[in-house]
Amino acid sequence: MARKILAAGNWKMNMTPSQAAAFINDNKEAFANDEVDVLFCVPAIDLPAALAAAEGTNIKIGAENMYYEEKGAFTGEIAPCMLDDLGVKYVIIGHSERREYFAETDEIVNKKVLKALEHGITPLMCCGETLTQREQGVTMDFIRQQVKIGFLGISAEDARKVVIAYEPIWAIGTGKTATSDQAEEVCKGIRELICELYGAETAEEIRILYGGSVNGGNAAELFAKPDIDGGLVGGASLKPDFSKIINYK
């Protein structure tokens, strides 16, 4: 069975709750496509409003981050049980901005992935290299390390539930995009690593997204690649034109 394309939006620190609800309500018909899974990962404060606006539609709502403890003295953090209580079933983990600005390590990412799976929340685990790492030819070495540590202690059964998002850091918010062949090369390498770790069946089931200036003009070419199963989209997911990515065919 072919893997279903996932068009996932990462809103980052954009949109108030009222803006989030209005955006979804105004565009839900344009975003309707039963052949594509549609997901918006929104700021924590927007979750209730976004969930209410998306009710009864094909749009799923996810979080942009969560902590790996159930509760405690972790001011400002969000527990997985809080997301679960709201009905949130997706969460972005290990985005390059979290790694860079908030010092998240591969080990922290692993703890978060394990905790999300424990609560039945699908983690979108991010990985990606810098421009320097690409120019030095160590892209796959770096990506393999991120993925191997991120999946530490995860069973084959649970591994299939994880979505991996490959986002070259040099192509996020820069207007630069890896060519479809460059994106496919890394996504294929990730799938080969999953095959090494868990076997061919798990590798065939797991979804691998490409992120980095995905737009309506390049989505079809990217999503046509055999190892790219959709996109994790930043700025373009904040606009009605996101419908062009969802309806890429």
Let me know if 107 is a catalytic residue: no
**Strands (E) located in 56-204:** 59-63, 90-93, 122-127, 163-166
Active-site residue (options: 97, 104, 129, 167):
167
End-to-end Cα spacing for the chain: 19
Active-site residue (options: 64, 95, 97, 119):
95
Let me know if 55 is a catalytic residue: no
Catalytically annotated residues: 95, 167
